[in-house]
Amino acid sequence: MNQPQLHVMRYCSRKIGMLTVLLAAVFFTRPLQAKVVVDFDPNIDYSKYKSYAFIGGVENLVAIQLNPELIENPLHHTVARELDKRGLREVQPGENPDVVVRYWINSSAQMDVTVAGEWGPYSAYVGGYWSFLFESVGTGGKKESVLIIDLIDPKAKSLAWRLYLIGKLANPEKEWKRIDEEISKGLENYPPSEKAKEEKKQERAAHLPKP
């Protein structure tokens, strides 16, 4: 190989090396995005829900070693903003809301421990119809946190719609802008369309045991 060819190869090699380092730096410094998963009951007529009340987090939030106040207020604001956009009206819990909003947080590795806590008038909704996706989320990332937002029908005491936000939640105060965006993304398709309902029915038929 002559000297000019060797010079060109070395130059190209340096350029490729610099490009690789640059791409790696861009990739690894990007903010990590959470995984957003939505589950819902496809048999509900969501148009009947006109009002909602925020009932906060479950009592066992203290087991997660996060300050509930750093989560509850911004989460309330975010969910209220998105539901208001969809024509729902916020009322107080004692004003007979059509749906109540509850949230809970845990790590995937603590799913079973957290579910054993105090749930008040509504259950955890992790069995039966809701078990497939709940268990799928629980096995997805053992080192990640899971923020779960439930929309519950208080008259039927049944879960209507659920959002899972799976990712890092070590410092909600600093990370809230990202969390806010991801909750908004999860609520983009609320209420579910007729097409989404049909797809959900087919999904559940494929995974639930036959009666």
Q: Which residues contact 2 (CB under 8 A, 6 or more apart)?
A: none
Least confident of 15-29, 82-96, 156-170: 15-29
pLDDT tens digits for range 152-165: 999 999 999 999 99
pLDDT at residue 59 tops 70: no
Q: What angle do CA 68, 40, 77 make, to 5 degrees?
A: 35
16 to each of 8, 13, 21, 22, 30, how far by Cα in Å? 12, 5, 9, 10, 21
Give me the count of residues in the chain: 211
Q: Average pLDDT of 91-109?
A: 87
Helix (H, G, I), strand (E, B) or coil at 68: coil
Per the CB < 8 A criterion, the answer to whether 92 and 53 are in contact is yes
> What pLDDT was estimated at residue 71?
79
Q: Average pLDDT of 170-187?
A: 84
Question: At 73, phi and psi to the nearest 5?
Answer: -65, -50
- Which pLDDT band holds residue 211 (cuts at 50, 70, 90)? low
> What pLDDT was estimated at residue 17?
40
Q: Mean pLDDT score of the chain, rounded to an integer?
A: 78
Question: Where in the chain are the domains?
Answer: 1-30, 31-207
Q: Which amino acid is at 64?
A: I
What is the fold of 31-207?
A: Double Stranded RNA Binding Domain (3.30.160)
Q: What angle do CA 205, 49, 158 make, to 5 degrees?
A: 50
> What pLDDT was estimated at residue 167?
80
- Which pLDDT band holds residue 111 (cuts at 50, 70, 90)? low
Cis peptide before 209 (omega within 30 of 0): no
Q: Average pLDDT of 97-121?
A: 74
Q: How many CB atoms lie within 10 A of CB 171?
A: 10
Residue entry with tokens 């007729």: 194
- Residue that wins the pLDDT comparison between 199 and 209: 199
What is the pTM (predicted TM-score) of this model? 0.78
> What pLDDT was estimated at residue 207?
77
